[in-house]
Amino acid sequence: MSWELTEDDLPDLARGAAVLGTGGGGDPYVGHLLVREAIREHGPITVLDPDDLDDDTLVIPTAQMGAPTVVHEKLPRGTEPVAALRALEAHLGRRADATMPIECGGINSMIPLVVAATTGLPVVDADGMGRAFPELQMETFAVYGVPGSPWPWPANAARAPSSTPAPTTRAWNGWPAASRSASAVSPTSPSTP
């Protein structure tokens, strides 16, 4: 059953994500501010129950990658996650039907909400781990054979546009036939114009 997430829900959601994240993923405060502004500009977010999804629904998790403390030193514009989502959609040749958190913790509990509010996509009430994690292969999807992002960011990602795919460091043979999963990941440190 779907429901609407409003600005009033954000403080409790941020606190809960910080607790469930078990200290990982940084402080959700900056993400909370980004979501609040996106909701004020675009309206409430539709949250979907995973059981209500059709089998062919394309859900693309959205997140930031890298040291979460950087967002306190160099604030993100807030456009980076949507740019990463749009780049991945272009790569896949299909638009996302929904987004979801890749982890429950810190700023990554908030990034999909920014994307959902900004794009009008619903967000799925689920995450890829149930807590925060330090590396993509540690997410639950990997247990089922779905690899992390096909676009790992190079060391100089902070200077590269957030929507520029980087070559993988290992051979990439595409997604398993039964899966259409992928993650849209923007670097923690935003690019400069």
The residue extents of the domains of the chain are: 3-150+180-187
Q: Distance between CA 34 and CA 117 in Å, rounded? A: 10
| Helix count and strand count (H, E) for the chain | 6, 6
What is the pLDDT, as a whole number, of residue 146? Answer: 67
What is the pLDDT, as a whole number, of residue 154? Answer: 43
Q: Distance between CA 105 and CA 94 in Å, rounded? A: 28
CA dihedral sign of residues 166, 171, 177, 179: negative
- Of residues 136 and 81, more confidently modeled: 81
CATH superfamily of 3-150+180-187: CV3147-like domain (3.40.1610.10)
Provide the whole-model pTM.
Answer: 0.76
- Cα–Cα distances (Å) from 94 to 37, 58, 79, 88, 153, in that order, read 28, 8, 20, 9, 22
Stretch 64-86: mean pLDDT, rounded?
A: 81
Q: Distance between CA 91 and CA 133 in Å, rounded? A: 26
